Amino acid sequence: MVIEPGGIKTEWPAIAAQKVLGVSGSGPYAPQSTAVATSLTAESTQRRSSPPQLIAGTITKAVTARRPKTRYAVGFGAKPMIFLRGALPDRAFDTVIRRATGVPAT
């Protein structure tokens, strides 16, 4: 079984933002890395994120189910993101992600 979480309120976004800036913040990908880091740490991102208890409860439900689902998509944005990934061609999906994170087009 697979648990596919959407946005979850944890320290991960801040850690990821620091890492992306540390690796790519001053090179040729600086505009993109800055946009991604800003998106990850935005207050609006944290407000929309789901509590970690949602994932813990889903894991509990999955491991105790008599007939568990193959896939559990939970948390903010998980289901729409999975749908879009399957419904859109790669370039269109990349455009959606780029616009959502504010990454400038290259």
Contact residues for 74 (Cβ-Cβ < 8 A; gap 6+): 3, 4, 5, 6, 50, 54, 55, 58
Query: How many domains does the chain fold into?
Result: 1
What is the pLDDT, as a whole number, of residue 106? 64
> 73 phi and psi, to 5 degrees?
-105, 115
CB-CB contact of 46 with 2 (8 Å)? no
What's the confidence (pLDDT) of residue 97? 86
Q: Is residue 106 part of a domain?
A: no
Instruction: Report how far residue 31's alpha carbon sits from residue 15's, in angstroms, rounded to the nearest whole number.
Output: 18
The pTM is what? 0.71
Classify residue 55: in a domain, yes or no: yes
Range of the domain at 28: 2-101
Q: Cβ(1)–Cβ(72) under 8 Å?
A: yes
State the DSSP H helix or E strand holding residue 72, giving kind and residue range, or none if neither.
strand 71-74
Q: For 12-59, how does the pLDDT look when each residue is reduced to its tens digit (9 = 90+)? A: 999 999 999 999 989 898 998 999 999 999 998 889 999 999 999 999
